[in-house]
Structures are given as C-alpha cells and as structure tokens.
Amino acid sequence: MRTALALLVLPALVSGAYAADVKGTSRIDAVIVFPSGAELTRVGKLRLEGGDHVILFSDLPARAIASSIRVEGKATGKLDIGSVDSRRMFVPRTDDAVAATERKRVEDAIEKLKDDKALLQTAVQAAETQKALIGNLAQLPTRPVTGNGAAAPQPDWTQIFGIIGQRFAEAQKAILDTQIKVRELDRQIKDLEGKLASLAPAQDERTEVKIFVNAAAPLEADIAIRYQVGAASWVPFYDARLATGTKAQAPKLQLVRRASIQQRSGESWDDVALALSTTRPGAGTAAPELQPVTVDYEPDAPPRPMPPAAGAPRSMARESAEVDRVASESEGRRLRAKSAPAEKPEVQSEEVRATVETQAFQAIYAIAGRVSVPTTGEAKRVQIDEAQLEPALTVRTVPKREQKAFLYAKMAMARGTPVLPGQVSLFRDGTFVGNGRLPQLAPGEEHELGFGVDDSVRVRHVIAEEKRAETGIITSSKTDTRNYRITVKNLHVRAIPVTVIDQIPVSQNADIKIELLGKTAPTKRDIDDKRGVLAWEMTLQPDEEKAVEFGYRVTWPGAKKITYGQGS
C-alpha cells in the first residue's frame, strides 16, 4: 500500500549526513494553463534504500518560478521530505547521441568533398604544367641555329603554331572548368561546416531540484513536482452555428467553445493532460483599500515681493530679495504640508481604476484525451465543449443608417460555467456570414447575437416632410419640423418580431424645445441609456407590412441660430 509523503521539515534530516545523491528523471504529466501563465506537474518513479537520501531532478526548465516549486507524491512505505532546494544550472542536451550520429555523417560528407577538391586542384596543377610546356614550344623559332651553320629544312611553323594555340586553349578551358567546380565544392563545404557547428555538443540552462528525504525502509516512490511558468497563455474563441428552422421547426443554435493555447516555456508539452483555468493568479486576491479624502479651502496665494525703492542702495535691494525668497520658500513648504494628505488619495484612486479583476468567474476545463503543445509559440487549438441552445429569432433595423434588416438570435447562456469574452465565428444555415464578439456572460444570462442581413425582411425609409418656419410678432421664434415614414415587410413564411430603431434630437439648452410628432408612438425611449434613441417593437405575420410614422419639431428663439451635432 502506498503512503502519502509527509511534507515536513525534519531537524534530523537537515543536520544529519546524507547518502549519495540519487538522480531522478521526470516527465510532464499534467498542465493547467491560465490566461497568463501555467502550472505544470512532473512525475518520476524512484527506488530508494532505507536511510537519508538527496534526490536530484535536473529536467525542469530554466523559466520555472522557483518560489512556486512544490513536491508531493506517494510511496510503498514511510518517506519523509525534509526540504526542497532549487538552483539554475547547465546540463548537457539529452539528444547528444542523435547529434553525435548526425555530426559523424556531416564530418564524413565534408571529408569526401575535401578529397574531391584535392583531386580537382591536382588537375589544375597538371593543366598549368601543360600550359608551361606549350609556352616553351612557342619559343622554338627564336632559338639560334646550332652546328656548322649549314642550311636545314625549316618546319611548317604555321601548322605548329596552330597546334600550340589549340592545346593552350584546351588547357586554359580545363583550368577554368576545374576552378568552377572547386568554388562549388567550397560552398558545399562551408554549408556543411556551419551545420557541423550547430551540432556541436551544447548545454541547456535548466532548473535543478534537490529533495532531502528519509526512507524508513527500502521502498518505491512516485514523486510529483509542481511548478509555474510565465510564458504561457490561452484565449477562448467560439463557433455559433444557427439553424433558422422552418415554419414547423423551431430554430436551433449550437455554440462551440474552443481555446487557443500558446507557450514559450522552454520545454515542449508532449502528451499531457491539459486543463484550462479562467483564474488569474496575478490579478489580485483582496479588495483595494480607500484612504480619506479631505475638502478644504484653496490656500491663499503667497504675497508678491515688493520691488525695491528707486533710490535704495543695491545692498538693501539684495537683502530685501533674500528676505522675500526665504518667506516664499517657507510659505511654499507650509502649503505643501497642508495639501499633502488630500493629494495622496487622488494618485491611489487613479491606480485602482486601472485594475481589472475577474475573480467572480472561475472555471477549469479539462480537455479530453492527451495533448501536445510545442514551445515555439505556435497556437494549439482545442475544443472545450459545445452547448445546444434554443434561441428566439428577432429582426432589428436602423433605417436612418441602413435600409436593411439584421437577424438576431436571442439566447440564454447554459447553466454551469461562464462565457469569457472572445471572437465568435458566425454560421447561418451552414454558411459563414462573418465574425462577431461575445462579451463576458454569467451562467443563465441572456444575450443577442447578430447573424447578418436578413434579406427576407424589406425596409424602406422616406422623409415625409421637412419644413422650417418663423412665428410670433413681438417675440418671434423659429421652428424646424421633420416627419418620416418607415415601412417594414415580412417575407418569411412565419411570423417574426421586428424592432425599428430611430432617434430625435436632444436639447442642450432650456430655450430649445423638442416635440415628438407622428401617429406611431414608440414602445421604448432612451435605448441603452442613449438620450433620444427610440424603438418600435412589433410582430409581423408572413407577408405583412407595417408602417412607423413619426417626426419631431424643434422650436428656438428667432434671434438665435441652432446647430445639430453628435452629443453624448
């Protein structure tokens, strides 16, 4: 039966003598990735004799956060952990055997190329010797005649010179061709030498963990080492697939939750149990504190120094200036001391507003199966889960901007886990219609997601009246009257709710009056706390058309001029 390791610091272990170091090896078994950072669990199996031991694990990455290292595990007997130390060190690469085989292959290739180069250089030397001999033959006609000076038959020098020139050209061409081959061999040798340099025996910076233990008897132990790294993260993204249904079939929405994982921790996560956490370990664990904020009268400005009299001596002027400087500095120190307590909370309040915490939303997603994530920073995409939702379809139109209707799916989030903010790919009846974005949503919270233009709803927007006038005799006033007509027609085979959104101007002055006109009263005003934004909600049956007739009248003093602008 295995016994859980006791995480105790035993005085006898710390002060006593330990046996020889026991080197262990471990592998990454599980990883929990946070939005920023990750926690890894390495496991290793050891066989220990009874007594004191120092277990060494040298396969943790250099970027492991030393303060986060924890050791635990199970054993077939009693095993006590005295203490855990860690340090940075350099260790040989574990792929030295493979690298040595590759180096031997590259070295053999370089040696063969150098032999080929030597043969070519020998051929060049032979051709140079041949050129020298041919050059000597060209000197024969200029040599003095030997013997008794009797006339001798002369050779055909024209033919001889032709042969000499031909042989000289052939030797020169052979030299040039061979030199080209030598240059190509030099390039190949240089490339292989560069590859050989990269395969030279090297060392990696790692973190070594030293575990002081005491075994009551010979046993086998499964050691687990937990540590954190900072160079890792994950972000959510989604697929929203809407089936709009038919007259007899209700619409369906499939929301697929996915994750993109990246890491540059210095070690590959091969075949690990992967989990994704929504917690942010570095985002704070306690609410911020507020300091008192005081209100006081603004301090009086310090008195200005009086200029010296025109006839005063220069020394008296300097003395007066010095007195004024000392008084001004004293008053400044008094004012700074008086106002200091009120300034400090203002700085702190700025820092508090810049802090973002999402501790209210916590969840851990365990990814099915085993996953591998390289340390190159390339994104690894996995699916978390999917939910089948029953949305309510609605249509929204803002004809003042676009005479189009947009289809929305109103859905309630599934119970259980929150939805984190992220990009969503939108599909309508199997066709990709664009990208949107989901905000952070609590379980059960409702949200409307747009799925593009609905061509089965026709929208028209026309200006029915636009008129300016001036009224009054003694005190005149001006008016600006505008009326609009909006028509919406449903071409679907089933009824569908429609929301028409428009607006009227908002007065920024008490003398400017705004009056809502028209036959169709809005069902909602100031939508999303935006002043002047109106909404008309209606349900259109198949092939039904409805009209919204509304307008406004602006009245202001005749002596003034008004302007329309985008307000808040």
Task: Report the predicted TM-score, pTM, of the whole model to 2 decimal places.
Answer: 0.62
pLDDT at 341 exceeding the cut of 80: no
Supply the pLDDT for residue 39. 96
Other beta carbons less than 10 A from residue 293's beta carbon: 12
C-alpha 13/C-alpha 212 separation (Å) is: 7
pLDDT at 142: 59
Q: Rounded to whole angstroms, how far apart are CA atoms 433 and 430?
A: 9
Structure tokens at 210: 């030293």
Pick from 453, 354, 442, 346: which is nearest to 396 by CA? 453
CA distance 557 to 477: 4
Residue 262 has pLDDT above 80, yes or no: yes
Residue type, 144: P
Instruction: Estimate to the nearest angstrom the gap between the alpha carbon of 131 and the chain centroid.
Output: 68
- Mean pLDDT over 322-339 rounds to 50
Query: Mean pLDDT for the chain?
Result: 82
- Tokens standing for residue 443: 């379980």
Q: Can you tell me the distance from the alpha carbon of 5 to that of 551, in angstroms, rounded to the nearest whole number?
A: 79
Confidence of residue 103 (pLDDT cuts 50, 70, 90): confident
Q: How confident is the model at residue 288 (pLDDT cuts 50, 70, 90)?
A: confident
Joined together, the tokens standing for residue 502 give 């428009």
**Residues contacting 370, CB < 8 A, separation 6+:** 271, 272, 273, 274
Token pair of 369 as six digits:
């199966």
pLDDT in tens, 497-512: 999 999 999 999 999 9
Mean pLDDT computed over 76-84:
90
Strand partners, 8: none
Closest CA to 87 of 118, 132, 56, 123: 56
- How much is the pLDDT for 195? 82
**Percent share of the chain, pLDDT over 90:** 48
Average pLDDT over residues 290-296: 85
Mean pLDDT for 149-174 is 70
Q: Given the DSSP bridges, would you call strands 269-277 and 364-366 parallel, antiparallel or unpaired?
A: antiparallel
The DSSP bridge pattern shows strands 252-263 and 380-389 to be antiparallel
Class of domain 97-140+162-198: mainly alpha
By residue count, the chain amounts to: 568
Q: What are phi and psi of 496, to 5 degrees?
A: -150, 135
* pLDDT (0 to 100) of residue 154: 62
CA 390 to chain CA centroid, nearest Å: 33
Q: List, for residues 421-472, the tens digit of each pLDDT value.
A: 999 999 999 999 999 999 999 888 999 999 999 999 999 999 999 998 887 6
10: confidence class by pLDDT, cuts 50, 70, 90? very low
Q: Give the span between the Cα atoms of 7 and 3, in whole angstroms.
A: 12
Query: Which secondary structure element, helix H or strand E, spans residue 172, and what is its range?
Result: helix 157-198
State the pLDDT confidence band at 307, using cuts at 50, 70 and 90.
low
Identity of the highest mean pLDDT range in 144-148, 276-280, 544-548: 544-548
The one-letter code for the residue type at 234 is W
Kindly state the percentage of the chain with pLDDT values over 70: 78
